[in-house]
C-alpha cells in the first residue's frame, strides 16, 4: 500500500497555545482549524511511497540523525499556502537558518545514498498547517503576521498519511528518531 510520507517535529504546548491565540483574527472566515494535538512542523514531504522506499527513507533519517546534534528552530510568520495565487491554508513558517539547512542537506544526501531520489525541481517549504479553508475564500487575501518563539528539536518523526474513500485521511506515527545530544 502506498502512503504519503513526512518528516515532522513535535511542538511544545506553549507554541501550540500561541497559535490558538491567532484564531480570533479570522473569525469571519469559514475555516477548519487544526486540532491542538495535531499541530506539528512538517520539515520534509517525501511524496507517495511504497514499502521499499519507506525503508530507504527511514534508513536515511536514522543516518542523518546520527550526524545531527539537537538544535532550535525559530518561528517566522503566518502566511497563506501552499501557493499565493490559490491559497487553501494558513501556515506558520520557520526561519531556515544554518541548522535547518544543514539537517535538510544531510538528510537529502542520505536519501540519495540509500537509493531514494526526490523529484527534481520540487521545492518544499517547511511549515505548520494552522487551518484549512473551504473553497476559494482565501483567494485575494493576504497575511504576514510575524511570530516569536523557538522550537527545540531533539528528535524527528516519520509520519504517514493515507486517504481512504470519502476523503477520510488517517495519520500515523511510524517512528521517532532521536538526534545526538
Please tell me the distance from the alpha carbon of residue 82 to that of residue 127, in angstroms, as a whole number.
10
Cell of 49: 511511497
Residue 163, phi then psi, degrees to nearest 5:
-95, 125
H or E element in which residue 63 lies: helix 51-66
DSSP annotation of 180 reads: B
Q: State the chain's mean pLDDT as an integer.
A: 90
Please tell me the distance from the alpha carbon of residue 142 to that of residue 162, in angstroms, as a whole number.
31
CATH topology of domain 3-178: Cyclic Phosphodiesterase; Chain: A, (3.90.1140)
- Map out the domains of the chain as residue ranges: 3-178
Please tell me the distance from the alpha carbon of residue 15 to that of residue 144, in angstroms, as a whole number.
18
For 124-158, write each residue's pLDDT tens digit: 899 999 999 878 888 888 887 999 999 999 999 99
Cell of 179: 538526534
For 41-84, write each residue's pLDDT tens digit: 999 999 999 999 999 999 999 999 999 999 999 999 999 988 87
Decide if pLDDT at 101 tops 80: yes
Amino acid at each position: 500500500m502506498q502512503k504519503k510520507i513526512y518528516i515532522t517535529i513535535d511542538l511544545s504546548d506553549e507554541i501550540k497555545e500561541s497559535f490558538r491565540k491567532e484564531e480570533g483574527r479570522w473569525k469571519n472566515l469559514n475555516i477548519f482549524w487544526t486540532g491542538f494535538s495535531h499541530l506539528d512542523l512538517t520539515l520534509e514531504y517525501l511524496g507517495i511511497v511504497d514499502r521499499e522506499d519507506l525503508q530507504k527513507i527511514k534508513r536515511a533519517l536514522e543516518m542523518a540523525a546520527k550526524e545531527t546534534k539537537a538544535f532550535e528552530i525559530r518561528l517566522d510568520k503566518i502566511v497563506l499556502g501552499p501557493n499565493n495565487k490559490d491559497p487553501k491554508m494558513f501556515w506558520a513558517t520557520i526561519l531556515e537558518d544554518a541548522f535547518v539547512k544543514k539537517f535538510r542537506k544531510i538528510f537529502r544526501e542520505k536519501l540519495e545514498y540509500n537509493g531514494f531520489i526526490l523529484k527534481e525541481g520540487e521545492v518544499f517549504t517547511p511549515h505548520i498547517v494552522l487551518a484549512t479553508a473551504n473553497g476559494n475564500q482565501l483567494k485575494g487575501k493576504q497575511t504576514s503576521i510575524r511570530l516569536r518563539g523557538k522550537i527545540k528539536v531533539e528528535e524527528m518523526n516519520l509520519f504517514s498519511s493515507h486517504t481512504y474513500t470519502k476523503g477520510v485521511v488517517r495519520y500515523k506515527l511510524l517512528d521517532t528518531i532521536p538526534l545526538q545530544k
